[in-house]
């Protein structure tokens, strides 16, 4: 295990000189120099316990990294030092680093859903001292639920959804340690008390002659199936199994059906889902032509659909349809022909867009269809911004909650402790590791300021009782 026991910055230079602000951060068994003027500084040096270990020269294609993975367990004072013509007295930045047996970096967090439980499952979970569940959502207003896990907390690696109200939540696994500045894994989780909590939300789209199943959790679903009915089939029902148990390809080929209209559904059952809500669509399959038909297709770029197929410049006429309604005719005789369809004025939703054509060689006509999704706009909730103090068994933190969503200008971020500006040692700057800046226990005022594209100016201060954990 690796822990920081203290952190301090030593600066004995003349305040009238212009010295670079040196710094480095830790990632597992490596120390990485990451200060602002690093690319313009010709030379700086790494020292361990006052002994010169490595010189970083710009002309040597340096890596700005000190590898401590082979160091014996113990406590080391590591410094980077530099001198420049503008800083003749020199400047240094030092940290005390404790090296233990465990030198790994950040774990790759992951969880899966099983009914009313979320289950954390990732490599190294049995030895990870601390991680936590973090739950946010409109139903909670400004409240954030934190449930600690890991060997220090004797957790069970599970989070129960039973006590949450119906709604959609952002649920994250988060972890921080001296060898891992910050890491997280998040999913949107919907809770519906109609008994379908553990059932997948089935869905498929049309791509030309294929129907393609596409929904959350499809890669882990043991069984689902295509169910096809229609007048052409009489009393017959076609079933085509899919899922991990059947090594399916998540596709259904429409050319295997005769011309006509069909009701096509996705269905699913599992031990944790007695019966998922079927997802059904009315699908029309065109006649088979004996002649040569153009191979129609179009591509999607945002809300613009561009017809794109071989022979398009020789095809006199073709038509655009949306949900079965003719919306535009493309004719070579018209000066308005632009071979594109603009859906920017359509409301959010899913639309079946087709191009259709008939020629002398293709008297029954041919078509190419795709399901196009126009998403709902995602408003940013600026009210979730606030400063939060939290602690683990080995460290204390202040987190600027929500700022990752606000289009933050990272150069505008300012942290202050009792009115004195400090530079966060974390990679993102979204939270402050208090041990890196404080050595005495007591009450401190922590302030955060920043500018964002979505929420404008952000500013908040909180009082924190630093315990020196």
The residue among 447 and 115 whose pLDDT is bigger is 447
pLDDT value at 188 more than 50: yes
Residue-wise pLDDT for 248-284, tens only, equals 899 998 878 888 889 999 998 876 676 778 899 888 8
**Once rounded to an integer, what is the mean pLDDT over residues 415-429?**
85
Does this model's pTM top 0.85? My answer is no
What's the pLDDT band for 193 if we cut at 50, 70, 90?
low
Burial code (b: 16+ CB inside 10 Å, e: under 16) for 423-446 equals bbbbeebbbbbbbbbbeeeeebeb
Asked if the domains at 104-198 and 379-469 fall in one CATH topology, the answer is yes
Nearest CA-CA partner of 20 in 30, 34, 31:
34
Question: What pLDDT does 444 receive?
Answer: 95
Quote the percentage of the chain above a pLDDT of 90: 28
What's the pLDDT band for 100 if we cut at 50, 70, 90?
low
Residue spans per domain, the chain: 4-99, 104-198, 204-374, 379-469
Question: What pLDDT does 13 receive?
Answer: 43
User: Chain centroid to CA 272: how far?
Assistant: 27
**Once rounded to an integer, what is the mean pLDDT over residues 2-9?**
42
Task: Please report, to the nearest 10 degrees, the dihedral formed by the alpha carbons of residues 310, 315, 319, 320 taken in order.
Answer: 20
Highest mean predicted confidence (pLDDT) among 237-246, 282-291, 313-322, 395-404: 313-322
379-469: what CATH class?
Answer: mainly beta
Highest mean predicted confidence (pLDDT) among 11-25, 97-111, 116-130: 116-130
Question: What pLDDT does 2 receive?
Answer: 39
pLDDT value at 327 more than 90: yes
Of the given ranges (162-171, 297-306, 403-412, 413-422), which has the lowest mean pLDDT? 403-412
Among 1.20.140, 1.10.260, 1.10.3470, 2.60.40, what is the CATH number of 4-99?
2.60.40
User: How far is residue 178 from each of residues 74, 153, 170, 424, measured CA to CA in Å?
Assistant: 15, 18, 26, 14
Question: What pLDDT does 198 receive?
Answer: 66
Mean pLDDT over each residue of the chain, to the nearest integer: 84
The CATH number of 104-198 is 2.60.40.10
């Amino acid at each position: 295990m690796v822990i920081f026991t203290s952190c301090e910055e030593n600066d004995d230079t003349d305040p009238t000189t212009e010295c670079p602000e040196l710094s480095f951060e830790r990632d597992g068994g490596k120390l990485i120099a990451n200060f602002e003027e690093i690319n313009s500084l010709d030379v700086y040096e790494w020292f361990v316990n006052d002994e010169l270990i490595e010189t970083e020269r710009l002309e040597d294609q340096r890596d700005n990294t000190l590898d401590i993975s082979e160091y014996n367990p113990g406590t080391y004072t590591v410094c980077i030092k530099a001198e420049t013509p503008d800083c003749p007295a020199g400047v240094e930045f030092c940290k005390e680093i404790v090296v233990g047996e465990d030198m790994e970096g950040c774990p790759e967090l992951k969880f899966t859903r099983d009914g009313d439980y979320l289950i954390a499952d990732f490599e190294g979970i049995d030895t990870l001292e601390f991680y936590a569940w973090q739950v946010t959502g409109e139903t909670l207003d400004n409240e954030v639920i934190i449930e600690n896990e890991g060997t220090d907390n004797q957790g069970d690696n599970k989070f129960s959804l039973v006590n949450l109200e119906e709604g959609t939540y952002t649920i994250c696994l988060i972890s921080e340690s001296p060898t891992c500045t910050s890491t997280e894994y998040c999913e949107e989780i919907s809770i519906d008390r109609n008994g379908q909590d553990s059932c997948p939300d089935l869905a498929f789209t049309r791509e030309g002659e294929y129907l393609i199943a596409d929904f959350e959790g499809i890669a882990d679903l043991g069984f689902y199936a295509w169910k096809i009915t229609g007048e052409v089939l009489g009393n017959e029902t076609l079933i085509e199994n899919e899922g991990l148990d059947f090594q399916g390809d998540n596709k259904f080929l429409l050319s295997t059906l005769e011309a006509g209209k069909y009701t096509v559904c996705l269905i699913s059952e599992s031990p944790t889902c007695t019966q998922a809500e079927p997802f059904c669509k009315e699908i029309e399959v065109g006649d088979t032509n004996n002649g040569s038909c153009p191979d129609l297709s179009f591509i999607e770029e945002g809300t613009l659909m561009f017809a794109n197929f071989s022979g398009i410049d020789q095809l006199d006429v073709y038509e655009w349809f949306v949900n079965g309604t003719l919306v535009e005719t493309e004719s070579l005789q018209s000066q308005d022909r632009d071979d594109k369809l603009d859906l920017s004025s359509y409301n959010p939703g899913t639309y079946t867009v087709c191009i259709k054509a008939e020629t002398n060689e293709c008297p029954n006509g041919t078509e190419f269809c795709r399901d196009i999704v126009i998403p709902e706009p995602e408003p940013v909730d600026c009210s979730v911004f606030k400063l939060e103090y939290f602690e683990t068994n080995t460290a204390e933190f202040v987190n600027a909650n929500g700022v990752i969503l606000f289009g933050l200008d990272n150069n505008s971020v300012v942290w202050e402790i009792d009115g004195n500006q400090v530079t966060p040692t974390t990679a993102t700057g979204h939270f402050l590791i208090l041990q890196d800046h404080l050595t005495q226990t007591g009450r401190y005022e922590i302030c955060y300021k920043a500018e964002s594209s979505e929420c404008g100016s952000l500013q908040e201060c909180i009082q924190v009782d630093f315990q020196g954990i």
